[in-house]
Structure 1
């Protein structure tokens, strides 16, 4: 009877441990308790920051009127490691540390901190002095990228073509977390327009992450997934340590054999 009780106690302990371990793995736990009709929030729109690389196109029904505002640069076309011809491509504009760009005809434009739609509206307003009809202005970010590192399957830097990505999408791009990643200890490294850097802890186990102001990532954000204690312990056991344990085990076996023979 005592042996049966001990067995049941061990099984219960293992069951509790497995339940606790499971709770650390799933994302978005407790989603059933979130308000099913949350207050409507504005759709995310990226803000232009220093060192962003922009493409800006101006289109009108009169193509000749838009030509001065659509500068092109020659880009070489290579074949078999030899440059053959050059293909024109739109000029890209690098936002300087003050948030300014030099735009043809209009001169210096301060667009740092604006959203794309705000920048487009400002350029449209300034173009009224040069173009009779209202032009179509399109601003795109050419270097919108984020990085994911740590305990993920495929760490790396990813270019975001639609200029909008959330933390879950970023992890999906990196192949999701490994089983050793701590879902409640994800760190977001972010630099603002003034160059100040912050490390923001995120808990992806809780469903309230979707209402966090850090759910959507900004350009140049870095997501770091912290390894759990099991991975840290495994990393501490190097090849030399393993060899050392093997040697010690062999010596112990030899000593035991010698003692047995001596008896």
Structure 2
């Protein structure tokens, strides 16, 4: 009887180890409530608006290059290396930018103070253009505005965590996750947090990526500068983090135990 009980423990323990290491597809798949051919309603797109301490570049062009250059900041060259002879090995050129002050203004050449806080990139370009025309400074200006230091951070269970630059007027949560190399298999699809600074208060929002309807209607589907995206680890990752401190929770522990009992059972039978 003892021999039979020992042998029966082996498949039982193997089953326990197997099921403890398996995850449900429901915990991994995105957009589980999507219906092919059925459109999903999106909220009004939230475009990036410039805030105090943001840095932007503004470039003015016209038929009269010398005149338009009066309104452009100098291009800065950064050294990126030197050879053994101490000669310049390479340079990287970058347009100087304007940092929005705490009151929302930038100091624009010749014109002076311009309010830009709260404006979209296209609105800033139009504001500068109309100001130059109104002041009879440039008759045919073409104004280009770019973001310089704006970005979002993606942390937690993603393949490439870090801070990523905002290079477009609309940046979605899916864009940020894509830039971070997607979630790892250990990331909770139903528990993704977005931390947003709203008037000096940090507000956490929870997003469920398994539900397209919930995602598209989330107030953080469209991200803003300085948002922090955090992907929570699932229970498998949590168990892995306690393997050294609590081996009984490890899948490898159960497999090793099953192997040991198999060997003991074989010896008993012999």
TM-score range, shorter-chain basis? 0.7 to 0.9
Are the equivalent residues in 2 in contact too, given 1:141–1:163 (CA < 8 A)? no
Runs of 4+ in structure 1 off by over 3 angstroms are 16-20, 41-44, 81-89, 240-243
Alignment TM-score, normalising by the size of structure 1 = 0.74
Q: CA deviation at 1:189?
A: 1.0
Paired residues in the alignment total 230
Which one of 29, 35, 39 corresponds to residue 36 of structure 1? 39
> Equivalents in 2 of 1:167, 1:184: separation in Å?
14
Q: Which residue of 2 is the match for residue 93 of structure 1?
A: 98
Question: What is the aligned-residue RMSD (CA, Å)?
Answer: 3.4
Pair 1:220-2:251 in alignment: no
Cα distance change, pair 38–149 in 1 and its aligned pair in 2 (3 A): closer
> Equivalents in 2 of 1:36, 1:226: separation in Å?
29
Runs of 5+ consecutive residues of structure 1 not aligned to the other structure: 1-15, 254-263
Task: Show the 5 A alignment for 1:1-263.
Answer: 21-32=24-35, 36=39, 38=41, 44-77=46-79, 78-80=81-83, 82=86, 84=88, 89-128=94-133, 129-192=135-198, 194-208=199-213, 209-238=215-244, 241-242=246-247
Question: 1:99-142: per-residue Cα shift (whole Å, max 9, x none)?
Answer: 22111111111111110111111111211213352311111001
Are the equivalent residues in 1 in contact too, given 2:21–2:236 (CA < 8 A)? no
Cα distance change, pair 36–241 in 1 and its aligned pair in 2 (3 A): closer
> Equivalents in 2 of 1:104, 1:86: separation in Å?
26
> Equivalents in 2 of 1:186, 1:46: separation in Å?
21
Are the equivalent residues in 2 in contact too, given 1:74–1:86 (CA < 8 A)? no
Are the equivalent residues in 1 in contact too, given 2:45–2:170 (CA < 8 A)? no
| 1:31 aligned counterpart, secondary structure | coil
> Equivalents in 1 of 2:38, 2:170: separation in Å?
24
> Equivalents in 1 of 2:224, 2:21: separation in Å?
37
> Equivalents in 2 of 1:67, 1:86: separation in Å?
22
Q: CA deviation at 1:35?
A: 5.1
